[in-house]
Every structure is written in structure tokens, then in C-alpha cells.
Amino acid sequence: MHRYRILGLLIVSVLFMFISHLHSQPLQGVTSPSEEFSWSIPFGKSYDYTDILVERVVDGDTLKLETGEKVRLIGIDTPEMHSSAKLDRDAERSSSDKSTIQQLGTEAYKFTKKLVEGKRVSLEFDVQKYDKYDRILAYAYLKGDKTFVNAEIIKQGYASLMTIPPNVKYADTFRKLYQEARENRRGLWK
């Protein structure tokens, strides 16, 4: 225990000396002692999410941006295209065979790809910005005509609802669009 106290005091002393040294150095551009000194260490990169390119569509509800980041579209869920634990759960829950789900997933992917791939979008965030897989959680809008991408995928019948609190800003809108798509047998509901 004594070693940890000594180590802690040593770390605090080194930090104190470093900070004291910074404040004792002349600052370029500071012309009077009354000007304030401030500095910051940038963490991560900052992107303009109001005008960003969708590099590619990963699946019906996931996009990859020009930054390399993935965006999970909030409020929607499209069928799986690839073998996964989620595909197994979906097959069991829906009593559908996996190949049928994968075919529907491919249809949803193609729709989303045609809608947004290679196009610029504006992202809107809700309460949480990231999911447990470090994907950005967002609502997307096409830059040109301002089409609400999440809503359009539901409206055209290529997604089910997936409402996960606290990200529920458009849950009522999505519910209405989903019911309308099902009633009118659009997209996957044919």
C-alpha cells in the first residue's frame, strides 16, 4: 500500500511540474498579462453530419459514411441478408425459414441502396448517439429533396418497426407509415 501512495505522489508531482512549466513559458501572440491562456487536446475527429456522403449501404437499415463510420437508422428493422444469430432469432420468432428472410433482406437492401448509396445526407440524432456496436444512431435525410430516409423505407414497405427507448422521436409517425404499408401491401408485405 505504501508503494501506491509514493507512486501517486510522484504522478501528482510530475503533473504539477508540467502544468507549472506550461504557465511559465512565454506564449506566442500574447501581448499583455491580462490575456487568458487556454489550451485543449482534441479527442477524435469532428465531422459535418449535416452534409455527408453515404459511401455504401451495408444492409437495409445500416449505412457506411465517407468517414468509415456506420449509421444504424433509428426506428426501423429490415430482414437479415447474411447468416447471423439475429437471423436465427428472427427465423424462430417468425416461423419463417432463413432463406426466405434472407431474400426479403436482399430486397430491403436493394431498396435502401437505390435510395441513398452515393448520395449526400443530413443526419439527425435522438437521445443516444451510438449503439452498443459503436454505430451512429440517426435519422437520415437526403440533401437534395430532403426525403426522410427512415420514414421512406417504412412507407414503401421495406422495414418493420424497431422502437428502442429513449430514441422515440418519430415512433408515432413510423407506426402510422408501417400500418399503411401493410394495409396497402407495399414492398415486403406483398
How do residues 162-175 score in pLDDT, each as one tens digit? 999 999 999 999 99
| Backbone angles phi and psi of 136, in degrees to 5 | -70, 135
Nearest to 155 by CA among 98, 115, 104, 102: 115
pLDDT value for 175: 98
Residue 26 has pLDDT above 60, yes or no: no
pLDDT value for 46: 79
Structural domains in the chain, CATH included, are 52-189 (2.40.50.90)
pLDDT value for 29: 43
pLDDT value for 122: 98
How do residues 128-157 score in pLDDT, each as one tens digit? 999 999 999 999 999 999 999 999 999 999
Can you say whether the dihedral through the CA atoms of 115, 117, 120, 121 is positive or negative?
positive
